[in-house]
Amino acid sequence: MVVAIYAVFALISYVKSIIVNKNVVMINEKIKTNYVLQTLASLSSRDKDFESENLSFFMNDLKLLETNYWRQIFSLLGAVVTTVGTLGYAFYSDVKLALIFIAFMVIPSISPKLFSKSIQKKTEMWSQTNKGLSRTVRDLFHGAQLLKRYKSINNTSSSLNQSVSRMEKSNAGLNIRLALSNSVIGFLFFIFSYVPMGIGVYWTIINRITLSQFVAIQYSSTWILNGFNTMVSSYNTINGTKQIRKNILEKEQLKTGLKEKFSQPRTQPFKELTLENVSCKYDEKAIFSHVDLGVKSGEKVLISGPSGIGKSSLIRLILKELKIDTGTLRINGGSYSQEEAYDIFAVVEQSPVVFEKSILYNVTLGNNASDENVVSALLEAGLPEFGNYESLHKIVGENGRNLSGGQLKRLEIARALFFNHKVLLVDEGTASLDVKTSIQIHKLLLTNNQLTIIEVDHHIPDQIRDLYTSRYILTKDGLQRDS
């Protein structure tokens, strides 16, 4: 009989584990997917360490949330069910003694409040040091080849060790504080459980209750005690995830607005871009001022100037990713939003962004499209080698390592053409290419009558300078014609 009872309890425990883990999987799928999508959509040009901080939060803080929140929630629910059921049985045996047991559970139950602030502080400290370690390791991996070439790998051990040490110490500090809190709670429950037990013994002696009632309540009290202990301990651990939950809630509140923001209809066809008396500051420092520029559909404009003069900032201003200090920006004679800018402009940058997915995905970015439309964009961008089904599904290696620099650049152009973005903002787009490839890319762009080009660069090959409709030099005081 006893073996059968234990078998039943073991089965219940196993079934509970299955239910909990399936629910955790479902919760994690939703939270992690939503977090990444909402983080991508809420990116600002002012965000610093965007990749490392958000990756750290995704990989570590969300794992901490699973362990210290969701699993604790299920533990808390289980403890509540057990405790309520046991209390029902205890009340059935003797109401007064059951009430006494409950009364003596109150003081241990409120003890977590003594530790809540310090646990929250320790959690925040762990989160910050963990982000710091993520940045350090990311930088080291990114510069691995450089460090190897200069035989300086060992020189990084000190700063790496410090970063690891800070994270591990903060993690240990958090666990120690949780352990202290739970130990104090356990001690208080242990102490306060003896008083009602003593009362039960005394009532049994004076025949206030029967021995069987006392034994029933004594066994029940253990379950009640463990239940209360689990509930308080779980609450204490859950409370330490407050900041993580706040961050997720802030992302969740953006969800509706972002969905509307990225589902707006496309704007009218591009006819003209106008900049009037535009000035730009960064961190209260003037970059340039009094910029006047007009670009009509089909024109090819080159803006050159020394490094640091603000050429890339001018591109970001046109995209509305930076705010102008003074002046006006207009498309087709009217003001426009960042979302409308994204419908019109595409950016060709020095280092193209590619994903470790197929050529097809890198052109369409996951949007539905026929192979014919994708092939058409690839051919127009000068990539006939990818104009068949097999090549469309070729996987691009990490950072495009299995493609040439020219292919990567053309792939970025094909992406812009596929999305029907007829105005290309080229931000030193061919600076990393050899002269021959640079000329090929430029001829591809500058001889396409369907494209409007605004390019900022200071090392354009002489062979293609005459292909531009107009050329300017950017200075601190505005644009000057380049003869």
User: Between 3.40.50.300, 3.30.565.10, 2.60.40.10, 3.40.50.1110, what CATH number should domain 272-481 receive?
Assistant: 3.40.50.300
CA atoms within 13 A on the CB side of 243: 16
Residue-wise pLDDT tens digits, 221-250: 667 667 777 787 787 788 878 888 888 887
In the predicted model, what is the mean pLDDT of residues 447-454? Answer: 90
The Cα 476–Cα 483 span in angstroms is 19
Predicted confidence (pLDDT) at residue 194 exceeds the cutoff of 90: no
Backbone angles phi, psi at 277, to 5 degrees: 50, 45
State the architecture of 2-257 in CATH terms: Up-down Bundle (1.20)
| For residues 147-157, average pLDDT | 70
Order of strands, edge to edge, in the sheet holding 326-331? 285-296, 272-282, 326-331
Q: Between β-strands 452-456 and 470-475, what pairing exists: parallel, antiparallel or unpaired?
A: unpaired
Residues 6 or more apart whose CB falls under 8 angstroms from that of 460 comprise 302, 304, 442
* 48 or 256, greater pLDDT: 48
User: 462 is written with which tokens?
Assistant: 């002489």
- C-alpha dihedral, 411 to 412 to 414 to 417, nearest 10°: 180
355-374 tens-digit pLDDT: 888 899 888 888 888 888 99
Residue type, 415: R
CA atoms of 55 and 73, how far apart (whole Å): 25
pLDDT category, 60, cuts 50, 70, 90? confident
Would 2-257 and 272-481 be classified into the same CATH topology?
no
Q: How confident is the model at residue 456 (pLDDT cuts 50, 70, 90)?
A: very high
What is residue 302's predicted lDDT score, i.e. its pLDDT?
94
Answer yes or no: is pLDDT of 463 > 90. no
- Buried b vs exposed e over 421-430: b needs ≥16 C-beta within 10 Å? bbbbbbbbbb
Helices (H), 278-336: 311-318
Going from N- to C-terminal start, the domains of the chain cover: 2-257, 272-481
Q: Are 381 and 410 in contact (CB under 8 A)?
A: yes
pLDDT at 297: 92
- Using CA of residue 193, residue 198, residue 204, residue 209, what is the dihedral sign? negative
Are the beta carbons of 241 and 66 closer than 8 angstroms?
no
| Amino acid letter, 312 | S
Q: Can you list the pairs that 41-49 forms with residues at least 24 positions away whose Cβ atoms lie under 8 Å? A: 41/254, 41/258, 41/261, 41/262, 42/251, 42/254, 42/258, 45/316, 45/321, 45/322, 49/131, 49/135
- The pLDDT of residue 2: 46
Average pLDDT in the 64-71 region? 88
Task: Compute the distance between CA of residue 352 and CA of residue 410 in angstroms, rounded to an integer.
Answer: 9
Question: CA-CA distance, 426 to 448, in Å (whole number)?
Answer: 15
Mean pLDDT of the chain: 82
Task: Give pLDDT, residue 255.
Answer: 58
Using CB atoms within 10 Å of the CB of residue 452, give its burial: 0 to 12 exposed, 13 to 18 middle, 19+ buried: buried
Q: What is the DSSP letter of 337?
A: -
Distance CA 29, CA 158 (A): 38
Q: If you count DSSP H runs as helices and E runs as strands, how many of each does the chain have, helices first?
A: 19, 9
Q: Please, which pLDDT band fits residue 328 given cuts at 50, 70 and 90?
A: very high
